[in-house]
Structure 1
Amino acid sequence: MKSAWIILSALVAGMLLGIGIEMISPDAGAASLRYVEPIGTLWLNALKMTIVPLVVALLITGITATADAARAGKLAGRAVATFIGANLLSGLMTLLLLPLFLNLFPLSTAAAEALRHGLGGSSEAPASPSFADFMLSLVPTNPIAAAAETTILPLIVFTTIFAFAITRIGTAERATLSGFFKALADAMLVVIGWVLALAPIGVFALGYALAVKAGVSAFGGLLHYVLMLSAIGSCTVLLALLLAILIVRIPAMRFFRAMVPTFAVALSTQSSLASLPAMLRTTAELGVDPKKADIVLPLAVALFRFTSTAMNLAVVVYVAWLFKVELTPWEMAVGLGVALAAALSSVSLPGSISFVTSIAPIASAMGVPVAPLGLLVAVETFPDLFRTIGNVIADVAATKFAADGVGDDIAGEAP
């Protein structure tokens, strides 16, 4: 929380300074860009360099962990199926609702153009690939070359196939490969932690450059982005509540009363992991067998991020709309699949880290610019409230749904 507010403050300070200098002396503002902008670009490049190895490592560990969880027994298998189904539903909601919201509440043409220019975008819409070209790009002839060229989509396809292949080999060999990629992910998380420690400097420089280029319109553009993401976040929380009440069939008042302690912890910590003890008490109040809750809830915290698929897709769809990238139905379908895989792979990562590692692969797979993420991570503090609240609601509801669907005999089940 403290780190997020520091990054946000750096963004605001950089933008205010840039606007002030631009108003006093436009020539001085333009001249200063050659010194300040490279600092932000250097930080952004350092952030990008972690994406490919981290995506590969997290995707493999996420898929193998999910497969192992599904093998752990009927209860765990039902829980994993519930997580995947709910995430797909939330992602579809975003793909349907956000374009509607953007049409109903568009950013002014001038503000959109200023923000796009400030983020280094072009006013020309990039050409969409044909369906044949898109299909041919899915399978890499050389996955190493795909990684070197940062062509994320074919790399994700290869990595996914490779991860599922790991789940079919012997136990000892599977443990060796899973352990290697777990260690790789841990090492890359240390590197990205170092990079994000410099985020206030990088974000300050990026915010300054944005303000010099876009002026006051930059604030309006970022506010519009936050409002659109918050709208999707609100809809995701509402969807989680509807699923709990209508599908899991928990009476509304009983559910809200039981969730009060969990809401208090979630709002104060903005962490699903920190809310786990409170969620265990909530499921007990809702009549879930503690032995079953002890299996499903830790799985939910580790694998189930109900809001991630929806809100990560929302970030990418918004950037695509801003940069005039026309998303085809198959690109949106691929984005949904990558968003689902990213949600299952971002195992209990801090918000600023998971923002980059989860959204960058989706953007790359859908042909959407990645660079704006370096600035948008600074305003994630506000939409992140909806992520935590929606996640704890869905975790509790999914736990009851999974527990109610199996018998009382859970011998042999393991978390």
Structure 2
Amino acid sequence: MAPPEETSIGFPEIRVPALWTFIALIAGLLVGLLLRGSAAETSVLAVARPLGSLWLRALQMTILPLVAALLFTGVVQTVAAAQAGALARRTLGLFALVLTSSTVFAALVVPPLLGAFPIPVEATAALGGMTRADPGAVPGLAEVIASLVPVNIVDAAAKDAMLPVIVFFTLFALAATRLPPAQRDPLAGLFAAVAAAMMVVIGWVLKLAPLGVFALGFAVAAQSGSAVIAALAHYIGLVSAIGAVVLAAGYVLAVAGARLSLGAFARAMIPVQTVAFSTQSSLASLPAMLAACRTLGVSQARADFVLPLAVALFRATGPAMNLAVAIYVAWLTGTPITTASMAAGVGVALLTTLGSVSLPGTISFVTAIGPIALAMGVPIEPLALLVAVEMLPDLMRTLGNVTMDVAVTATVDRRGR
């Protein structure tokens, strides 16, 4: 059976001004620092704060419908892939093992890292102060379990109770896979169309990212000074480090699982990583990954099946780095994390990776991390500023993803001989 398409959703071309957004952040921070304490500060803040808030709200409104649509489509694709035979089931099993291991690793390692290398106190005040409301008490294990089955799914969605919403749509998608094609296909088409339409909306919102990020950057710098720069540098370093571990794990898997020479694998990955670095897209790197598999002696038939499946469903760095961002924001805003809320974050990170898309991380940053943060009771306001620097951690995301894609493909091929 042929592998499923990279995605059943016909995404329109979305151009995100990532570089201009980053430049706008720097400009906003510099202007905020220059005007801090001046007579003009109050007047400019009166415009910048509501402008930044409006842009943030525009991002937030896309989270629920896009996550629901992508999750439904991702579950349907995964079930369809699992029915494609033993090769598909082995592949999906290895995907699940890598994703679960990396996500649990992030949950166990990020808090101690933040303890050993704490966020600067001034930086905490700089970015942590962006949250507009007290996140409230973090629920315990009993409350988290009880919330998995909401009395009213519409009410749960209205209250941003993301965990029960995700559970509901996961079950809904699984139920849809049991329907006959005449009923299942129109339903899948509806959710695919919703996801595509929401991606258009996100494209519109992100075109205004330079303006929104400039306003947010100005407001934060005017209030907290240069501490915000330290916060962003600290954030980039920590989150990228988690991605670097996943990248290194790809080499370990290639040697231990696929029995490849470390030198041969590293040499074969250089062209792939070059394309990934320049495009920040796993999908754009697919031809280079196929060529690397041929260089490594991987069966062409297996590579032609596994790699498109990996690009469609497998984001090796996604759950781990997304959870790391949510944990970072929790520490930034002083939100306590219990065992129950961490477990909820791990679960949501794993589930929502089924609906992730092979596009630059800037596009899906808030919609990927927002559900995790909401499930953990973490405010999502700081994400609007962190998205401006996502182009830097996203380089590590893409490098880790393509490296692990090839390592998994070579391992599946080795185990299938």
Residue matched to 2:146: 136
- 1:286-327 per-position Cα deviation (integer Å, ceiling 9, x unaligned): 221111111110011111110111111110010011112221
**1:71 is aligned to 2:83:** yes
- 2:345–2:372 CA contact under 8 A, matched in 1: yes
Aligned ranges for residues 1-400 of structure 1 at < 5 Å?
Answer: 3-23=17-37, 25=38, 27-117=39-129, 119-120=130-131, 126-400=136-410
Structure-1-length-normalised TM-score: 0.93
Q: How far did residue 341 of structure 1 move?
A: 1.8
Q: How far did residue 271 of structure 1 move?
A: 1.4
- 1:261-304 per-position Cα deviation (integer Å, ceiling 9, x unaligned): 21221122221111111111111122211111111100111111
Residue matched to 1:410: none
> Structure 1: which amino acid aligns with 2:92?
V
Q: How far did residue 125 of structure 1 move?
A: 8.1
- 1:125–1:323 CA contact under 8 A, matched in 2: no
Residue matched to 1:413: none
Q: How far did residue 392 of structure 1 move?
A: 0.9
> Structure 2: which amino acid aligns with 1:296?
V
Q: Percent identity?
A: 50
Structure-2-length-normalised TM-score: 0.93
Q: How far did residue 406 of structure 1 move?
A: 2.8
Q: Which runs of 5 or more structure 2 residues have no equivalent in the other structure? A: 1-14
Q: How far did residue 259 of structure 1 move?
A: 1.4
Q: Measure, in 2, the Cα distance between the counterparts of 1:357 and 1:373.
A: 10
Q: How far did residue 121 of structure 1 move?
A: 6.0
- 2:330–2:337 CA contact under 8 A, matched in 1: yes
> Structure 2: which amino acid aligns with 1:343?
T
2:416 match: secondary structure: coil
> Structure 2: which amino acid aligns with 1:95?
A
Q: Measure, in 1, the Cα distance between the counterparts of 2:414 and 2:95.
A: 15
Pairwise CA RMSD of aligned residues?
1.7
> Structure 2: which amino acid aligns with 1:64?
V
The alpha-carbon distance between structure 1 residues 398 and 34, as it changes in their structure 2 partners (threshold 3 A), is same
> Structure 2: which amino acid aligns with 1:120?
T
Q: How far did residue 200 of structure 1 move?
A: 0.7
- 1:371-399 per-position Cα deviation (integer Å, ceiling 9, x unaligned): 11111010011111111111111100111
Q: How far did residue 63 of structure 1 move?
A: 0.6
2:317 match: secondary structure: helix
Q: Measure, in 1, the Cα distance between the counterparts of 2:122 and 2:204.
A: 37
1:330 match: secondary structure: helix
Q: How far did residue 402 of structure 1 move?
A: 1.8
1:369 match: secondary structure: coil
Q: Relative to structure 2, which stretch is displaced further, 265-274 or 200-209? A: 265-274
- 1:30–1:212 CA contact under 8 A, matched in 2: no
Residue matched to 2:11: none
Q: Measure, in 2, the Cα distance between the counterparts of 1:52 and 1:83.
A: 25
Q: Measure, in 1, the Cα distance between the counterparts of 2:400 and 2:284.
A: 15
Q: Measure, in 2, the Cα distance between the counterparts of 1:33 and 1:257.
A: 52
- 2:66–2:198 CA contact under 8 A, matched in 1: yes
Q: Measure, in 2, the Cα distance between the counterparts of 1:130 and 1:280.
A: 47
Q: Which runs of 5 or more structure 1 residues have no equivalent in the other structure? A: 408-415
- 1:98–1:314 CA contact under 8 A, matched in 2: yes
- 1:307–1:391 CA contact under 8 A, matched in 2: yes
Q: Measure, in 2, the Cα distance between the counterparts of 1:116 and 1:264.
A: 36
